[in-house]
Structure 1
Amino acid sequence: MKKVGLYFGTFNPIHIGHLVIANHMAEFSDLDEVWFVITPKSPFKTKQTLLDNHHRYQMVYEAIKEYPKLKASKIEFDLPQPNYTIDTLVHLEEKHKSAFTFSLIMGEDNLKSFHKWKNYEAILENYAIYVYPRISKGELMNRFADHPKIKWVDAPIMEISSTFIRKSHKEGNNIKPMLPDTVWKYLDEMNFYR
């Protein structure tokens, strides 16, 4: 069975920081693949900066098509809203039966609020969580620091965000070096975030 790490996010847009983290997990941990699970645009929220699902999926697809261990997943697009991680995990387990084992990938900052997630105890009981650093000074101590299902991965600290990219692009700054070339071309041709 292949070990798959699920990397959830809006990826609005996907940037080199996301790629570095995902590739590091695929190459330097015991995971066989990393799947980018693109969080759908909620029909209940009208956040204008969040691109439609198919555009964000296309950018992820373009960014990772040369990386055989990385996959784009739109599994949550067809699940009931709002999306909860536990529901997505159960759906994936049912869909893929015994072909894959699934784990979560999350930033250290997300682990801090993990106890607020729906059915977090069930997630911890049944799935490993691969945590990458998001804090450069000092260690984030929390209730999960020594949990046996939490795997700390010494991945590079990436201080780059999609929010910063969108804001900078709107202000006319050159953001091209922060994006995979294919994502930059797509974003530029579609005139996004201006």
Structure 2
Amino acid sequence: MKIGLFFGSFNPMHIGHLVIASYMANYTELDKVWIVVSPHNPLKEQADLIHAHDRLEMAKLATEDSEKIEVSDVELKLPKPSYTIDTLTYLSEKYPHHEFCLIMGADNLKSIKKWKNYETLLKYYKIFVYPRPGVDLSEWIEHPSVFITNTPQMEISATFVRKSISEQKSIQYFVPEKVIDFIEKKGLYRKSN
């Protein structure tokens, strides 16, 4: 089975993430998409990151009705910081019957040369890229491991969602209802946090 790994903090999971996952699972050669909730991206600030288990639960709530999208906690069990290449190596050894591919945004592809063992990633794994506004991918168009998709673009971010919640603005339609309920029940992303 060909599985696309969609890594992220998903802080929180919103419809932009779901559009990407759904497109990759249904409009590419991938059979399934695994949402991989990361403890902390070594290249990003940790300031607004809520507990990984809450982010994992929100991802599960958002995708529980999907047959082709699953949520994985693999990175929460591996040594920190988590590097994509280490996770891929671990999964490839644990599930040798699966072919793992990466799903990433054009912005991440632009910075991939900063990643640990990026040459190995590009040599052994296919990368399915979703576009980002204003990101030029011309240097990657001919790369044999890189597949630039026509995933619909949405101008929505987890930062926008968190800011909206802290300002007590509605996030209806930006975030799945089950995730909104979870956020409200736990009082997540309030200014007092």
TM-score by length of 2: 0.93
- 2:19 corresponding residue in structure 1: 20
What is the deviation of 1:47? 3.7
Structure 2 SS opposite 1:35: strand
Change (3 A) 1:46 1:119: closer
Structure 1 SS opposite 2:173: helix
Q: Distance in 1 between matches of 2:147 and 2:155?
A: 21
1:2-151 aligned within 5 A: 2-41=1-40, 47-98=46-97, 100-135=98-133, 137=134, 140-141=136-137, 143-151=139-147
- 1:155 corresponding residue in structure 2: 151
The code of the aligned residue for 1:67 comes to S
Q: Distance in 2 between matches of 1:141 and 1:126?
A: 20
What is the deviation of 1:78? 1.1
Q: Distance in 1 between matches of 2:138 and 2:81?
A: 27
Q: Distance in 1 between matches of 2:105 and 2:51?
A: 24
Where in structure 1 are there 5+ consecutive unaligned residues?
A: none
Where in structure 2 are there 5+ consecutive unaligned residues?
A: none
Q: Distance in 1 between matches of 2:138 and 2:120?
A: 18
* Structure 1 vs Structure 2 CA RMSD: 1.6
Q: 1:8, 1:36 within 8 Å by CA — same for their partners in 2?
A: yes
Q: 1:130, 1:153 within 8 Å by CA — same for their partners in 2?
A: yes
The code of the aligned residue for 2:35 comes to F
What is the deviation of 1:123? 0.6
Q: Distance in 2 between matches of 1:127 and 1:48?
A: 31
Query: What are the Cα deviations for residues 116-143 of structure 1, in whole angstroms up to 9, with x where unaligned?
Result: 11111101110000001111x5x61353
Q: 1:41, 1:52 within 8 Å by CA — same for their partners in 2?
A: no
Q: 2:10, 2:37 within 8 Å by CA — same for their partners in 1?
A: yes
The code of the aligned residue for 1:192 comes to L
Q: 1:112, 1:142 within 8 Å by CA — same for their partners in 2?
A: no
Q: Distance in 2 between matches of 1:94 and 1:125?
A: 17
Q: 2:59, 2:71 within 8 Å by CA — same for their partners in 1?
A: yes
What is the deviation of 1:6? 0.3
Structure 2 SS opposite 1:51: coil
Structure 1 SS opposite 2:17: helix
What is the deviation of 1:46? 8.9
The correspondence for 2:166, drawn from 153, 164, 170, is 170
